[in-house]
Every structure is written in C-alpha cells, then in structure tokens.
Structure 1
Amino acid sequence: MRPFDRWAVGLTVPAVLLTTLFYVLPIAQVLVLSVTEPVTGLGNYEQLLGSRAVARVVATTLQVSLWTTALTIAASYVVAYALVQMLPGVRRVALFMVLVPFWISVLVRAFSWITILRREGLVNLAVTGLGIVEEPLQLVHNRTGVIIGMVHYMMPFAVLLIYANLTGIDRRIMQAGRSLGARPMTVFWKLWVPLSAPGIAVATLFVFIFSLGFLITPTLLGAGRTVMVAEYISVQITNTLRWGVATGLSTMLLVAVGFVVFVAMRQPALRAAFSGRQG
C-alpha cells in the first residue's frame, strides 16, 4: 500500500467510528427492540400490519408528503428559475433571502404560521376585509396548515438543489432554440425543464423522504388532527410506553425509505444527477 493510501485509510477511520457509534448502533438497537419488546418475536409487526389506526396514520403521512413534495417542487422551481435570470447583484440579495429560514428555529416558524393562519390572523383578515370570503378560512389545526408549514420548511432546500442544477445548464442551448424561432414558453418547456430533470429528481426525492419524518410542524400546525408517522411514534414512546410498537414502526419507515431510494436511483434522471451529467 502506498503512503498516500495509508494516509487516506487512516483519515477515514475516525469518520467510520463516529458513524458506527452515533448511527449504526442506534439503528441496530431499534431493530433489536422491535423484535424483543415486550416479548421476542414478530408480534409488533403483526400488530402494526393489522391496525386500522396505523393504516390511517400511514395514509395521512403519504398524502401529506406527496402534496408537500408536489407544491414544494413547483414553487421552488419558479424561485430557482427566477434566480438564474436575475442580475448578479439582485441574485445575491435573493439568495440571502432564500437562506434566511435556515437560521430560524422550526418552532419559531411553526408558531409564526399559527399566528398568520389562525382565524384572526393576517390571511383571514385580508381575505375577509377584501370581501373575498364572508367567514374566516380554516387554515390551521388541520391538514392545510400542516402542508403550508411543511412546504415553507422544505422550500429553501429544494430551491438550492434546483438552482445548482439550473446554473450548470449551457445557456447557448437556449440561444440556439431562440435563434431557430422557438417562443419563450417553448424554450422553457422543451429545453429548460428537460435539462433540469436531474435537479428536479434530486429535490423531489429529498423533499419526499424528509417529509415522511416530519414531527414538530405537523404536531403544532395539525394540533392532533393530522397525525403523521413521526408523531405517532413519539406518542407511543412518551405517552403509552409501547416501545416495541414504536421501534417496529420506525423500522418499517426505515425500510420504506430505503426502498424508495433504491427504486428512485434506478431512474435515469437521478443517475444523471449523481454522475454529474445532464439528463
């Protein structure tokens, strides 16, 4: 082994140890608890698969995550596309505004949305004051509020992922399309969107997987009316003390996420994104 190879291996050892200590071992403990608590066997999984309550929670989680992903990607693509069209000075200011939410606690953001969306909040005051609606809209403590809060949380991540992809697209392709007589909308749908497919695919996968594990935002904005998997697991651990059920559901969520990643990575757009090629 060459000296450089020995140094490379030596430098990776601390990272491997830390990953094993803080990631692999806790996951292994969860897997063990799921088949040993309260008794050894697969009883926890049988109980989960036969539970209507768990089925409703899983269905709610999938529906909210899909809506969150779709709305986040659509809104983030608009923002990212606008960023690449801006002048450099304006773009720096806009990127700073995109990054600001990273410095604000998720709790602060959730409580802010409660204030904005409640019956006496800014949104309802505006729509009722303008005569758009007669009665205040129910925008919080339900699924609508949860989706709004989750979209707001995920948009900065998606914007940066899509923006990074859009900046790598050769503008001469767009100029060639315009020179051949293509209209602006044709250039957008026939050139920009297909070439940005890898960025869209990565952002979609990231947002969807992250949405499956949301806890604080659904708990506060849903107020118990929109229970997702993470909140259900939290209740089983802290309130009912059903560790076996909680760890079993955690394991099933982990397996589901792994399956989603496996299937997604077989798609050409994602393979192109991770190999550094345009779709």
Structure 2
Amino acid sequence: MTARHVLLLGPLLMLLGAAYLLPFLGVMRWSVTLPEPGFGQYHAALSDPLVLGVIWRTVRICAVVTVIAVAAAYALTLIWVRGGRTARTLVELCIMIPFWISVLTRAFGWLALLSNKGIINGWLQSLGFLSEPLTLVRNEFGVVVGMVHFLIPFAAFPLATAMRSVDERVLLAARGMGASRTRIFWQIFLPMTKNGVLGAALLVFVFALGFFVTPAILGGGRSVMVAELIYLRIFQSPDWGLGAAISVILMVTVGLLLGVMMRQNRGAAR
C-alpha cells in the first residue's frame, strides 16, 4: 500500500474509528468499571441462568434461521443463475425488492399476517379449517419467519458468486458420461459450491446474532434474544455494567465469526 493509498483511506479510517471504535472502547470500559472495577460482570453474564438462557435461545434461533435461509436462498439462487430468462428476472426482483423495504415495515407486515386476528388466521377460520386461531407470533416461530424473510437476500449473493464460478465443462462432461441431473447436482454441483454455502451461512448467522427489531416485535417479549436483552439491561433495568459485558461478548463472538469468514474467503480465492 502506497502513501497515496494511506492518505485516501485516512479520512475513512478516522470516521470509522470515531463512529465505531471509540463507542466500543467506552462500552468495554463500562463492562469493567460499573458498578465497581473488575471482571465481575463477565462472570455474572456467563453464570446467570437468565443470561445463559437468552444466549442459548439466540444461538438456537440463529442456527435454525441460518439453515432455513441458506436452503431457501440456494433454491432461489439456482433459478437466478441457471434458470430461464423470465424466471431469472422474477427471482432477481424477489431478491432486490426486499432491500427497499425497512426491517420495521417487514416486521409489522408479518405481524399483520400472523397475529391471532391477522390475515392468515382469518382466512383459515373463514374457510372452516380452524375453530381457534393459531399462535404464530409472540413466540419463536414468528421470530424465525421474520428473520428468515429478511436474511434470504443476503445469503443469495455469496451463493450466486459460487454458482457462477462453477466450470460448465465439468457438468457437461458428467452429463456426457451418463450421470443424471440429480446425481450431477448432489455429487458435483453442490460440492463445487460448498464455499458459497459456508460463506452464506456465516453471513446469515452473524447478521442474525444482532437482530433486535424483528424479535422484539414478532417475539412480543416472550422470545428475547441477546440484542434485546442488552437493551433491557441498559435502558430499563438499568444495569449498564452487565449490559456492556454482554455487548462485549457479542462483539467478540461476531468478530471471531467474521475472521473465520475472511479466512474461508481467502482460502476459496486461492
């Protein structure tokens, strides 16, 4: 990197440092100084059954969301990359349009669809399939649905990159040797796109760890995740030290996962 590059990147690095690094250092200071100096808040965060329960719920929900979102994104991306022109255009619109809609609007949209008096329960009851409405929100199901809907487009891009890098000659050679389409997909195409699957899974999981608005609205306070717990500890308890300690733990976890993602991407580029 030349001196010119350093000068060009300098203002951006200073802005990022002022916007992200300084606040994070302040949160770290709170975690070891409030209510008294020491690492007691980290011990409390890792031993409190309530906090551990929220952490386990967050990991479980994020894992389920990751599996569903990546699987759905793989199917959509396969059509986007290898489908017909009309199908590719339709899938591309389905991937791009959600980026124009805010996460808050999407969450309230799912609330209108899934609530006890929402559209889905109303239709099912009017058609005689249900006598009582299904509980589709204010639980983990509603949280998973909202998060999956939001994260599918993010998983599509690394998958599309991996699929477009597949050598078509390999697939044609397998087809010429008599392999069926199913066998080609499971034994050749899918293994050749495994780096894209791993990258998409890591990206979705990292994004899911920090979700706040969707779990707060669709979970209704009954499926609290880590980000919402931090908010409650800092703004409602208030227990700034514990909230800061949980924040630092979350940030370190996300940093480690991002490191794994970057290492995986470097390995795939070689």
TM-score by length of 2: 0.93
Unpaired segments ≥5 residues, structure 1: none
Q: Deviations over 1:104-159 (max 9, x none)?
A: 11111000001111123232244445555553321111000000000001011111
- 1:91 paired residue among 85, 88, 95: 88
| Match in the other structure for 1:73 | 70
| Match in the other structure for 1:115 | 112
Tell me, yes or no, if structure 1 residue 257 matches structure 2 residue 260. Answer: no
Q: Sequence identity, in percent?
A: 37
Change (3 A) 1:48 1:5: closer
| Match in the other structure for 2:267 | 272
Moved more, 250-259 or 227-236: 250-259
Count of residues in correspondence between the two structures: 270
Structure 2 residue identity aligned to 1:103: W
Contact 1:237 1:246 in 2 (8 A): yes
SS in 2 for 1:256: helix
Moved more, 128-137 or 246-255: 128-137
SS in 1 for 2:21: helix
| Match in the other structure for 2:226 | 229
SS in 2 for 1:241: coil
1: distance between equivalents of 2:11 and 2:259?
28
1: distance between equivalents of 2:119 and 2:76?
24
Structure 1 residue identity aligned to 2:190: V
How much is the aligned-residue C-alpha RMSD, in angstroms?
1.9
- 1:15 paired residue among 7, 12, 16: 12
Structure 1 residue identity aligned to 2:116: R
2: distance between equivalents of 1:128 and 1:166?
43
Contact 1:198 1:272 in 2 (8 A): no
- 1:142 paired residue among 135, 139, 159: 139
2: distance between equivalents of 1:83 and 1:130?
35
Tell me, yes or no, if structure 1 residue 194 matches structure 2 residue 191. Answer: yes
Contact 1:146 1:217 in 2 (8 A): yes
| Match in the other structure for 2:163 | 166
SS in 2 for 1:181: coil
Q: CA deviation at 1:260?
A: 3.3
Q: Deviations over 1:223-256 (max 9, x none)?
A: 0000000000001111112111111100111222
Q: Deviations over 1:71-98 (max 9, x none)?
A: 0011110100111122345423421221
Structure 2 residue identity aligned to 1:158: A
Structure 2 residue identity aligned to 1:71: I
| Match in the other structure for 1:153 | 150
Q: CA deviation at 1:43?
A: 1.7
| Match in the other structure for 1:243 | 240
Contact 1:35 1:44 in 2 (8 A): yes
Q: CA deviation at 1:6?
A: 2.6
